[in-house]
Structure formats: C-alpha cells, structure tokens
A and B are shown apart, each in its own frame.
Chain A
Amino acid sequence: MRIVGADEAVSGIESGQQIYIQGAAATPSVLLDALCRRAPGLEDVKVVHLHCEGPHPHLAPEMEGHLFHRALFIGPNARAAINEGRAEFIPVQLSDVPLLMESGLLPLDAVFANMTPPDAHGFCSLGTSVESMQTAIRCAKTVIAQFNKAMPRTHGDSYVHVSQIDLAVEVDQPPYVYTPGEIGDVERRIGEYVADLIPDEATLQMGIGAIPTAVGMCLGDKKHLGVHTEMFTDPLVELVEKGVVDCSAKTVDAHKVVAAFMMGTPRLYRWVDGNPMLELRGVDYTNDTATIRRQRRMTAVNSAIEVDLTGQVCADSLGHRMYSGVGGQMDFVRGASLAPEGRAIIALPSTTADGKISRITWELYDGAGVTTTRSSVRTVVTEYGVAELFGQGFRERAKRLIAIAHPDFRDELTAYAKQYHEL
C-alpha cells in the first residue's frame, strides 16, 4: 500500500477498464474528481455503482465517450444520463451483485473505496456503505482508497485490512448528507395505516423518504421492535433513541441493528460511529430471503411507482423511462412473506404529487417493469387504506385496490374492472 495524491492514485486507470465505486453517502468524490480530470485522455472507461451522492461529474454530457456509467441502481443524478443513452442500467437484485462480480460477469479492474484510516491493527472500516464492497475488493485487480478521517467507523462485516489496498489518498470529508423532505398529510395517513399493521416485536425493513419517515413517527407506542434492513436512516435512529427499537426480540442477530448501508444526517453518522449496536453486512446477507425469513414478524415496507389492478407492482420505471432500480424489494417482499407472522407491505400515495395521475392503474404503463409480481404481492397501502391481496382472485383484487384508489379515479377504474374482471 502506498499513500499518494489523488491524481497519482488514478493514473494507472486505462481506457476500456471497468471500475466499481462505493456508493450512497460514501461516494469517494476526491477519487472520482481525479478520474474526471484524467477522463479526456481515456476512452470508454466503465464506471459501475449503485446510486452515488454528490455532484457526479462523471455523468456530465462532456464525459461521453470517455466515461460510461453502468448503473446497478439509478440515483436521481444518473436518470438523465441513462435516459439519454449516455449511461446504461443493469436490472439486478442488489443481493445478486456480489455474485455478478464473483462469477466474472462484471470483471473489475479497479475499485474506488472511501474508508476510515487504518486502526492500530491495520484495519479500515468501510464506514457508511458495506453493500457489495467486500466482494468488489476481493475481485478487483487494483484497490484504491480514500483514507477518510471524517468517515464514521462502523462495525460488522465492514473491515478491510490495509494489505488489501494498493493505493490510498488521505482525505477529510464527511459522508454526504441526506435530509428527508417535508411530510405531507398524504404520507402521514399512509404512515398511520402502515404503523397499524406493525405488531410489537416486529423486525422492520424500510427505505428512505417521506413514507418511511412518516411510518417511523407513528411507531412511538410499539415495543421491542427490531431492524434488519438494506438502508439505515435517521428515523430508525430516532426509534432507537426513544427505546422503541431495541432489537431484543429479533430471532436472528438479536440486539443488533443490521443494515448494508446508510443515508442521513450528521446525527445518523455520529450515532453509528463505533456503535456496537449496529452491524453492517454485505447485501448478500442482509437481502438474502433465507436470512430475512428467519426473523419472526419480519415487516418489509417498500414503495412503488404504480400498482395495477391485478397487483403487479412497478417500482423501477415510468413506462420505458428507467427511474431507479429493483434494489432489494423483491427479496424483502418474499422474505417477509415467508417469515413467521411476517408481512410485506407496498405503501404508496394513491396519486402522483399533482393529483393528476392515479398510481393504482388498470394496467402498467407501456414498457414498465414489474418489480414485485402479482403472485408475490401481499399488502398494499395508500392514504385511503389497506388492501390485502394474498389469496385473492382478480375480481376481489380489483375491488380492494379500487377501494384504496383516490376517489377521483374510482369510477374510471371500476368501469375498466367491469370489462375485464367482471366486477
């Protein structure tokens, strides 16, 4: 391992190579900036990552031909590049990404990581994002790291020995901050309905955004909740501090909050720093249905873009336009459904923000991707209530979904359902 400057760290990157970049709050922006400075001299370097926070210079139009992003999950800042054809999306379950690397289907010439400087034993912590990083580091030919004094030292399967690292750049830059938006009345009502479905001693999986935040606000009177999730966030820390989440009733990893990465405010990053209650694990553990289903009362709360009247859930695309990715939705839906007393919830507002388009649709938009199939879906929640779909026929599904659609669209949906499902 050699400590070098940022430009030297990326000087070995050559045209045609493929690089994996640690994502989310841990995006190693000093290395990424250096790569972009070198980009004019490079051709067709593939930059692979989940969603990356920050200014994302590698996605700018002038990088076309030099850097090419291959997205395993599409962050907001990558949408334009993807839909303009300057970047590409690989549909893959998050839990399969390590397998993709190990099988050689995604060969990695280099990996850019962002971690704590080595401790007394020579170990660096991957900080806020463990995701697929252990596998990436094992598989990549060159490992280039930011030794970041401002990275929280997280516990779990988060440690990389300094001997596994080829080149390192010393930086002092806190992980990116994510502040959740305002919670509206719609989200608040959804939060209440979802919270009603969560029993004491449940283990939660939730994502990020207004709905999970609203759900978190409604859980104050629950007891002994646990967390086994993909992404750890501020609302979950709040539940730990209120004593609602103590993980004492978890049937796997008792007393531990288990997650694969995190996004939030400095308060979240302070809480996780050196905290033995948090166990970060690779996505092939956190998102493995075989792990998830072992948690009694596992409750998965996920969102969607649209749900059709048969219960097909689209969460990754607006018709042909790619929006995000599949992440861990299907794994958590299936794992929670198979868990003893488990429950898989898809929670979404009944309409788009302007109220003009119903998210309960008679059929998915042309080109839309199905994230959770109609045989996998269980409970759907909007601000108008709860629809249980498990074991229901098409007619009953349509009836129950129309009952939680926005009233403005119910007639239209009913007319359609009459035609196709003999409602």
Chain B
Amino acid sequence: MQGAAATPSFLLDALVARAPELEDVKIVHMHAEGPGPHLAPEMAGHFRHRALFIGPNARKAINDGRAEFIPVFLSDIPSLFDKGVLPLDAVLINVTPPDEHGFCSLGTSVDTVLAAVRCGKTIIAQLNRSMPRTLGDSFVPVSMIDYGVEVDQLPYEHADPAISDIERRIGEAVAELVPDEATLQMGIGAIPSAVCLYLDHKKDLGIHTEMFTDVLVDLVERGVVTCQKKDLDCGKIVVTFMMGTRRLYKFVDNNPMVEMRQVDYTNDTSVIRRHRRMTAINSAIEVDLTGQVCADSIGHRMYSGVGGQLDFVRGAALAQEGRAIIALPSTAADGKVSRITVALKEGAGVTTTRSHPCTIVTEYGIAELFGQTLRERARRLIAIAHPDFRDELTLYARKVYGL
C-alpha cells in the first residue's frame, strides 16, 4: 500500500469492511497517514500489518505483537519486491486520473511504488482528482492498472510542529554547519523546521532528500534554495515522497523544479556522495558515549524504523566537503532522561554505527566524532550532554574509558 500523505483511504476502508470474511491478509507499507483502521485490535487474525517503517498509528499494534516490523533500508525495499522476498498479490495506490497520454502520476509518494506496481499481481488505484500531479519518475501508464476507483480527496495533511527553545538552539547550531551551496537532506519535525529558520543568509542551497516538507518550500520561496549549484540534478529538488500542508501540495503540482524519484535513487549512497557539500541532517533517540546512534527503538520497544539514515550518513560523509549530522535534544521525558547515554538501552537497535563519520549536535553544542578515540568521543559527547547528567556520564567514562 502506498504510504504517507498518499495513503489510499477509500480502498483501505473498503478492504477493512471485508475483514470478517478474510484471514491473515498481510498489509505492507511504510508509515500510512490517517486513522489506520486496519491496525485496530479487532482486526487481529484478519489483517496483519508488516511495517517497513513504523508510523505513530502503528506503534501500538507493533508493540502488542499484532503487527510486525521488518528492519530494512528504505533504499532496499524495491529489491525486496524485485527479488520476490516480499511477494505482492495486490498493490493499493492513490494517483492522479490518467492524462491525455494515459499516464497517472503517483502524486505525493513515489518511494517504492514503481517497483511494487511492477511486481504486484493486481493493481488497484484511486484515480484521485485532488492528488497533485508531481513530475519525475512518478508516472504509471493506466494500462498497468487493473481497477480504478474515482475519488476526490486531498492527500493527508501534516502541520508543522511547534518549535521549542531547545529545538531553536539545535537549529541554530546545525545551521552554522551548513555552508553556502550545500545540498540538504532533512526529515520532518521540530528540529528540521528550526534549522530552516536559520538558513536565510545562505546562498544557493540545494535539496536531495527523502521527504519534502513545507519548511523546504519556504526556503525555495525565499530564494535560499535554488539548486543551481548541485553537481547532480542541477536546478531540481529531488525527493521520493512528501508530507505537509495544502500549500506544499499546491507547490509541487506540475512543478518542473520538483523531481520525484524512487528511493533506490534518492537514498543510494553512490548518488548521494556525488553532491559536493552534501549535508545530511538526521535525528536520534539516543547516542551512547562511543557514538553508536539509535534512531528506531526505545530499548526493545520499536519506535520508527531505519528509513534512509545510514544511507544518507554514509553518502554525505563520502561526498566532497560533505557532512553527516545527527541532531537531537540532550534529554527526553521532560529532562528526566539523558539522550547521551553510557550504553544504549537494553534491546536498542543501532541505526548508525560508531565507525560512520558523524557530527552530533544538541542544544549544548557540537561534537565532531570522526577519527576520535573512544576516550575523546566520550569527552566530546559529555560536553554536549545536559549539565544535570554530565557528572554521572563522566564517572562512567572514567571507569570504562579512563577519562
């Protein structure tokens, strides 16, 4: 099922209405917006969600064992379909009605859908008059579609979250690390939004990212993002899906500046590394004192997924003058828990390893870890931990790393 803002909710509702007569139908997607009717407890036995990335509405089902998580890079999902590891009987999509050449645009989510459409036995589409017509590698010929349902429904909207003081300080620190002519990858949320607040004086930024958002549109409209200095796809904003408000969807509609590509292109390290000054900005749940980054789980509890983090971290580190940034608040749970930790929580997953060159940023500053010893890493990470936790972390680091 196509995901994010493009979640085909008419088809999903129709499928859920058939639940009583179905057993063990697997519904595979990344995060899907909307109420998630297929994830309700009473659907157990009828539907089983297999998550390639865990959206907020799927967390409970995953952690209750009614759904399951498949750890996979976003960039590898097309090959999961192509190689038959994840066989697809049907694909539910949400596309524009066919144009005069017989092509439907995948709209707000191209991500892995082209591969799914190629591999699925039956293709069922919402032909949606309100889906923006995005350009790029976003077109499916109507001849590939078996069933079409006519609908008129805007893609799901996702408003920008409020930005706190802490996020503002992180944003300011990150923005200082972004040079003119850099190409950006960012996700969605308060930290990326805060970063964008501080980019106004930059020149000729570019975008090559997984997810396109409202704050990036702001940067285009303010003339900060031009993409004119990109070494690859010059002049184009390259993305694989988007989440935002009506304004974003209006901006992308038929806009030749926005080039949608499948994830096996956008998230491919060998593509990413060809951008000079590629700057990847990603977040984390916790970082241990050696620099291991956990972004997908809170101990044994699954939280999100790996998405494109490692691909972008690696690609940016390998790019000429590139940089991989992991930005996170120093604490969680109202300041009660340090996100800079002596060891990752029991059961936590490592998303980015300690051998991947990274710059870690909190509201207390910047820690460069590339080429640093375990002892020096501990010292630099403690310096950007919340002051309330520094003594505790230092005691531990003394014991283990001889700080």
User: CA A88 – CA B400 in complex, angstroms?
Assistant: 12
Structural contact, A375 and B310, CB atoms closer than 8 A: yes
User: CA A422 – CA B70 in complex, angstroms?
Assistant: 14
Structural contact, B354 and A363, CB atoms closer than 8 A: no
Structural contact, B353 and A290, CB atoms closer than 8 A: no
Structural contact, A373 and B69, CB atoms closer than 8 A: no
| Contact A312 to B372, CB < 8 A, known contacts A96-B317, A367-B400, A394-B68 | no
Contact of B373 among A88, A290, A367 (CB under 8 A): A88
- Whether B270 sits at the interface, judged by CB under 8 Å, is yes
- Whether B374 sits at the interface, judged by CB under 8 Å, is yes
- Whether A188 sits at the interface, judged by CB under 8 Å, is no
Structural contact, A100 and B370, CB atoms closer than 8 A: yes
- Whether B290 sits at the interface, judged by CB under 8 Å, is yes
Which residues of B292-326 have CB atoms within 8 Å of chain A's CB atoms? 292, 300, 302, 306, 310, 314, 317
Q: Which residue in chain B gives the minimum CB-CB distance to A97?
A: B371
- Whether B269 sits at the interface, judged by CB under 8 Å, is yes
Interface residues on A, range: 35 or more
Which residues of B327-354 have CB atoms within 8 Å of chain A's CB atoms? 343, 346-347, 349-354
Structural contact, B356 and A312, CB atoms closer than 8 A: no
- Whether B402 sits at the interface, judged by CB under 8 Å, is yes
- A199 CB to nearest B CB, Å: 15
Structural contact, B291 and A91, CB atoms closer than 8 A: yes
Chain A's interface: helix, strand, loop or mixed, by majority? loop
- Whether B355 sits at the interface, judged by CB under 8 Å, is yes
Structural contact, A289 and B270, CB atoms closer than 8 A: yes
Contacts of B356 in A (CB 8 A): 93
User: CA A323 – CA B145 in complex, angstroms?
Assistant: 55
- How many A-B residue pairs lie within 8 Å, measured between CB atoms? 113
| Contact A90 to B70, CB < 8 A, known contacts A337-B76, A373-B310, A375-B310 | no
- B365 CB to nearest A CB, Å: 19
- Whether B90 sits at the interface, judged by CB under 8 Å, is no
Structural contact, B71 and A375, CB atoms closer than 8 A: yes
Bitwise, A90-121 to B at CB < 8 A (1) or not (0) is 11110010011001011000000000000000
Contacts of A290 in B (CB 8 A): 269-270, 273
- A191 CB to nearest B CB, Å: 26
Structural contact, A371 and B373, CB atoms closer than 8 A: no
Contacts of A334 in B (CB 8 A): 269, 314
Stretch at the interface among A55-63, A274-282, A385-393: A385-393
| Contact A92 to B72, CB < 8 A, known contacts A100-B370, A290-B270, A367-B343 | no
User: CA A289 – CA B272 in complex, angstroms?
Assistant: 13
- Whether B375 sits at the interface, judged by CB under 8 Å, is yes
Bitwise, A365-397 to B at CB < 8 A (1) or not (0) is 011011101111000000000000011111100
| Contact A91 to B310, CB < 8 A, known contacts A311-B71, A369-B292, A391-B72 | no
- Whether A326 sits at the interface, judged by CB under 8 Å, is yes
Bitwise, A272-316 to B at CB < 8 A (1) or not (0) is 000000000000000001100100000000000000001110000
Contacts of A390 in B (CB 8 A): 72, 76, 80, 85
